[in-house]
């Protein structure tokens, strides 16, 4: 279950267009920088660019898939989207029971 530190991130935010993805990346970046969440690098990921690079303004690849966890309670989060065909994706907690709101 999420703690007070990460409960505001426990939303299912749909990514339907590029601006939605930019907003999700910006929020994730701010929360990494302030220590709320930690990126969990995945060596087997199909990402074409690192989260750090994308968060710094470099373009993203056809598939965006980044994982994070709360630095306090270890709640896990996923930022994922398919951008090539435009089918989109979500920012969401990995544990579906932790979702407090759907947008």
The answer to whether position 4 is within a domain reads no
Does residue 66 fall inside a structural domain?
yes
In a domain, 48, yes or no: yes
What's the number of domains the chain is made of? 1
**Within-domain flag for 98:** yes
Range of the structural domain that residue 67 is part of = 10-102
Q: Convert the pLDDT of each residue in 42-101 to its tens digit.
A: 877 766 788 999 999 999 989 899 999 999 999 999 999 998 887 899 999 999 999 998
Q: Is residue 73 part of a domain?
A: yes
Q: What predicted TM-score, i.e. pTM, was given to this entire model? A: 0.92
Inside any domain, residue 69: yes
Residue 12 φ/ψ region, left for φ over 0, alpha for ψ in the -120 to 50 degree band, beta for the rest: beta
Strand ranges of the sheet holding 76-82, from the earlier edge strand across to the other edge: 37-39, 63-70, 76-82, 88-93, 11-15, 101-102
Domain membership of residue 5 (yes or no) is no
Q: Is 2 domain-assigned?
A: no
At 39, the pLDDT band (50, 70, 90 cuts) reads: very high
């Amino acid at each position: 279950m999420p703690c007070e530190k990460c409960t505001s991130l426990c939303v299912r935010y749909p990514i339907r267009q590029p601006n939605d993805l930019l907003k999700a990346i910006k929020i994730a970046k701010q929360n990494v920088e302030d220590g709320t969440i930690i990126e969990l690098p995945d060596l087997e990921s199909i990402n074409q660019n690192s989260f750090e690079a994308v968060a710094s303004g470099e373009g993203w690849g056809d598939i965006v898939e980044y994982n994070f966890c709360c630095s306090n309670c270890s709640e896990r989060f996923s930022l994922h989207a398919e951008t090539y065909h435009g089918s989109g994706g979500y920012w969401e907690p990995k544990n579906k029971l932790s979702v407090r709101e759907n947008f």
